[in-house]
Amino acid sequence: MEVDGEDGRTQNQLRPLACSHNILYRAHGSASWSLRTRTLRKQTGQIDNLLKSYLMRMRPWLNGNKEALEFKFHHVWVWFRYSGLPLEEAYEMILKRTLQSICHLTINPNTTTSIIIQVINDDSALLSCAINAACVALVDAGIPTKHVAVAICCCVAKSGCKMKAFAYLAFPNSVHSVLPERSSSMQGKPIEHGIVTSVTNGIMSADNYFYSLERGRAASVRVVRVSQEELATALN
């Protein structure tokens, strides 16, 4: 999120990111993604937005048709607000569509991949955190994917930090390539200018939306670097 924050960030700064993977023993792949807010002056309770995402084993279909990807969204700490089911179902559906578009689903026919997202702490920007964590967990498990999706939550705020609207945006990561620049683009634009998912809430003008897209793309560079460094340190 990029907002004038009480934690001293300017309008264009990202919250500090942290990512780790392979944290669970039983799951085929797991990742934890957190967006940290520095200590707030008021006592509001939640400090970190920490998400764990873990992949259950891929099960062979024993009988009948099942979905290729199934999701469960768990809030660990739910007493502080009413978490009605529709919100979680909406998140599950968005996650499912996003991840379905990046997985090669035809590689393993007749298997179900279960992805469980566990919310440790919710301090907004939940969906972008969930998408990032789920992507790192997929890569950690070795599930073949086309590219890694990177998600950002972008806020449009009036001056005085009152939020008007926000958008969750997910982009494909930029790729290192041996191809000459021309051929790795789709319809004249580099591949990282595409967009995988966009979910908006509130009222914003079209200009604001496109501005958020630009800021989101710029921010996704940093997010990609965090997850790539994490994966690279494990491989070395």
Residues at the interface with other proteins (CB under 8 A):
27-29, 57-58, 60, 104, 107-111, 139-142, 144-148, 172-181, 183-184, 190, 192, 221, 228, 231-232, 235-236
Residue 219 CA to residue 14 CA, distance in Å, equals 7
- The least distance separating other proteins from the CB of residue 151, rounded to whole angstroms, comes to 15
Query: Greatest CA separation found in the chain?
Result: 57
- The least distance separating other proteins from the CB of residue 104, rounded to whole angstroms, comes to 6
Tell me, rounded to whole angstroms, the distance of Cα 141 from its chain centroid: 17
Q: Which residue, 28 or 215, has its beta carbon nearer to other proteins? A: 28
Residue 98, class by beta-carbon neighbours within 10 Å (0-12 exposed, 13-18 middle, 19+ buried)? Answer: buried
- The least distance separating other proteins from the CB of residue 231, rounded to whole angstroms, comes to 5
Residue 37 CA to residue 112 CA, distance in Å, equals 36
Q: Which residue, 122 or 140, has its beta carbon nearer to other proteins? A: 140
Q: Which residue, 44 or 233, has its beta carbon nearer to other proteins? A: 233
- The least distance separating other proteins from the CB of residue 6, rounded to whole angstroms, comes to 31
Task: Give the DSSP H or E segment for 151.
Answer: strand 149-158
